[in-house]
Amino acid sequence: MLVVHAFDVLGDPVRRRILELLSDGEQTSGAVTEVVRREFGISQPAVSQHLRVLRENGFARVRAEGTRRLYAVDDQGLREVDEWLDRFRRFWSGHLDALATELARGKRERRLKEEQQ
């Protein structure tokens, strides 16, 4: 899969929302459809189409359980995006490290103040 294509897949807010729902664990297609239809006002066939796009591009997997279809995140597509983003991490990782340091410093200072009181 081309990474540019991955961003095309993830560029759609409905597909991003579906992945958010699936990140909480395996979901039936009915449960996913119910939430997405309510939030986006789209039809069941449209939700099915989004699930198919996610599945065909390595972001979701499906398994049959009787008559139900259970969807889950497939990390293959996400790993490819993560690998592509790796070249850009230097632009924000230093800032995140500095933030972590400041948070730890503030926590330590609050603890010391509480101990002095």
pLDDT value of residue 64: 95
Q: What pLDDT does 13 receive?
A: 96
How far are the Cα atoms of 21, 23, 99 from residue 81, in angstroms, in the given order? 19, 16, 25
Distance CA 17, CA 52 (A): 14
Give residue 112's domain range: 6-116
In b/e form, how buried is each residue of 77-88, taking b as 16+ CB within 10 angstroms? bbebbeeeeeee
Query: 32-75: per-residue pLDDT in tens?
Result: 999 999 999 999 999 999 999 999 999 999 999 999 999 999 99
Instruction: Say how many domains are in the chain.
Output: 1
The CATH number of residue 85's host domain is 1.10.10.10
Kindly state whether residue 69 falls inside one of the protein's structural domains: yes
In-domain check, residue 1: no
Euclidean distance between CA atoms 52 and 68, whole angstroms: 15
